[in-house]
């Protein structure tokens, strides 16, 4: 699994700047005024930095932009990276700047002359999250290594920053690695093994196997995986960092590969269905971050791990299956499998843990991509207070999220002639009817959010804080939601 680069935060020592190897970063605002370490860089380069700040190239830079001065005279560094940042604090902009620094680092040593920078944590988070590359299955010479050092005016004021960033980055990287992993490697059993390893961090982990799932009545979940050689599982992860209160629940769809089953997907693009466990990946990443930072909250993460394959034993379109709740479902389309996994796990989570609130995440529908593209996840909720709190957290973390409607009017699309409901409602409002299906398995007293992350879990182009591929979307926002809403205050 990928490990975030470890950052070292030290007091500013301008005498070390000349000998620094790799890349050196300086910050300037729109005025071009230089702080103490930047003045030393300017002196070492015989005024080259000042001349750049007077150039048309600098005048055309926008806040958050960076520019390289390659092989600067008077310094051992390969490049000085000049970062334009405004005086006004903007967390998203600081992270964007950090991302540009992280992207350029590659395997170079990196010295960031932060000085009195107010947002050291935001910049370092941007550096760390963008400094990611999934190389588990690449061979040959790979660009790895290098150190990251931040020189700051007041190291005591930055105490704990590196550890805080590391806890967030570890969770995001865990999610990205899981989502990026190929399906022949990340089987249901291998996924469960990765989650079991969280017990070293104090997370209580248990794996429910097929025999127990059958006994519990999770037949809609089992119906999805019955055509696969990989056994279906539910993994329960408990972080008990709070008091005696009931936990907050996170539920994730973990379809490690989705062929569509008997309702087979087209061949073109099917290789992308290795990411159909993205919801479970986010839940895993959040649980790791909570444990690493010692969150003062009780949180339970539950993931349904299955593989949807065509086989002589696979579920057929037209089959009727009973859920754990007891409702029967006519399976019209076996490619609408995620909701069949989630409905049983949602019901189990409520029956066993009686959570104070519940969020499920799933790469559930292509319809949400048509509606929101790759900029926003779809947010569906039965509780305005919880939903608004999540949307606030997502905005604060720069993770796009947009609320979508729910309503009884959509239920008629799920009406079945032979069962309590169908698993699909046709093309109109496809992401909404999927959420409406899930809502039937949420108790009236349970505040609930459904996050359709099909458009944001993995992308074909790089995002602000990630290279193309798995983004890790949701780890930061959910961690913030839990910190702001569910953590007990320090005594």
Structure tokens, 324: 């754990």
Rg of the chain (C-alpha set)? 24
What is the rounded CA–CA span in Å between residue 125 and residue 119? Answer: 10
Q: What are the beta bridge partners of residue 2?
A: none
Q: What does each C-alpha distance from 413 to 307, 340, 386, 409, 422 come to in angstroms?
A: 27, 17, 27, 8, 8
Helix axes of 278-292 and 475-485: crossing angle, nearest 10 degrees: 50
Residues 6 or more apart whose Cβ sits within 8 Å of residue 236: 205, 206, 207, 208, 300, 301, 302
Give, as one character, the DSSP assignment of residue 238: E
Reduce the DSSP state of residue 78 to 3 states and report it. Answer: coil
CA dihedral 246, 386, 176, 463 (to 10 degrees): -170
What is the rounded CA–CA span in Å between residue 345 and residue 351? Answer: 10
DSSP letter string over 365-403?
A: -SHHHHHHTTT-EEEEES-HHHHHHHHHHHHHHT--EEE
Sign of the dihedral through C-alpha 108, 109, 113, 114: positive
Q: What are the beta bridge partners of residue 83?
A: 27, 66
Residues 6 or more apart whose Cβ sits within 8 Å of residue 159: none
Residues 6 or more apart whose Cβ sits within 8 Å of residue 407: 436
Residues 6 or more apart whose Cβ sits within 8 Å of residue 181: 136, 274
What is the rounded CA–CA span in Å between residue 431 and residue 414? Answer: 13
Which residue numbers are catalytic?
Answer: 265, 339
Angle among Cα 381, 432, 421 to the nearest 5 degrees reads 100
Reduce the DSSP state of residue 169 to 3 states and report it. Answer: helix
């Amino acid at each position: 699994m990928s490990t975030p680069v470890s950052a070292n935060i030290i007091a500013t020592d301008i005498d070390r700047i000349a000998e620094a190897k790799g890349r050196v970063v300086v910050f300037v605002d729109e005025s071009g005024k230089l702080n103490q370490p930047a003045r030393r860089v300017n002196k070492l380069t015989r005024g080259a930095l000042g001349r750049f700040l007077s150039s048309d190239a600098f005048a055309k830079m926008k806040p958050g932009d960076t520019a390289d001065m390659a092989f600067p005279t008077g310094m051992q560094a390969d490049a000085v990276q000049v970062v334009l940042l405004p005086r006004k604090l903007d967390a998203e902009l600081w992270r964007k700047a950090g991302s540009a620094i992280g992207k350029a680092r590659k395997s170079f040593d990196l010295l960031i002359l932060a000085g009195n920078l107010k947002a050291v944590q935001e910049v370092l988070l941007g550096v760390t999250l963008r400094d990611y590359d999934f190389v588990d299955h690449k061979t040959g010479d790979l660009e790895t290594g290098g150190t990251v050092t931040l020189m700051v005016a007041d190291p005591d004021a930055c105490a704990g920053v590196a550890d805080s960033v590391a806890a967030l980055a570890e969770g995001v990287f865990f999610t990205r690695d899981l989502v990026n992993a190929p399906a022949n490697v990340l089987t249901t059993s291998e996924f469960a093994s990765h989650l079991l390893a969280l017990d070293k961090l104090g997370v209580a982990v248990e794996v429910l196997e097929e025999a127990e799932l059958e006994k519990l009545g999770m037949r809609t979940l089992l119906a999805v995986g019955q055509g696969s050689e990989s056994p279906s599982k539910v993994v329960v992860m408990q972080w008990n960092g709070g008091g005696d209160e009931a936990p907050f629940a996170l539920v994730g769809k973990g379809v490690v590969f989705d062929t569509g089953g008997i309702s087979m997907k087209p061949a073109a693009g099917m290789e992308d269905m290795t990411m159909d466990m993205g919801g479970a990946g986010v839940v895993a990443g959040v649980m790791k971050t909570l444990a690493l930072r010692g969150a003062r909250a009780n949180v339970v993460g539950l993931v349904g791990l299955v593989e949807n394959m065509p086989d002589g034993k696979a579920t057929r379109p037209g089959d009727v299956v009973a859920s754990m709740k007891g409702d029967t479902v006519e399976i019209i389309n076996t490619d609408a499998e995620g909701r069949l996994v989630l409905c049983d796990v949602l019901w189990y989570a409520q029956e066993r843990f009686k959570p104070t609130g519940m969020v499920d995440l799933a790469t559930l529908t292509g319809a949400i991509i048509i509606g929101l593209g790759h900029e926003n996840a779809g947010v569906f909720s039965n509780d305005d207070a919880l939903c608004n709190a999540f949307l606030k957290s997502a905005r604060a973390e720069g993770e796009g999220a947009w609320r979508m409607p729910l309503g009884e009017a959509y239920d008629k699309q799920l009406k079945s002639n032979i069962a309590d409901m169908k698993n699909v409602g046709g093309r109109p409002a496809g992401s909404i009817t999927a959420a409406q299906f899930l809502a039937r398995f949420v108790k009236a007293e349970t505040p609930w959010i459904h996050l359709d992350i099909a458009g944001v879990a993995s992308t074909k182009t790089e995002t602000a804080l990630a290279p193309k591929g798995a983004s890790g979307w949701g780890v930061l926002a959910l961690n913030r939601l839990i910190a702001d809403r569910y953590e007990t205050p320090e005594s």
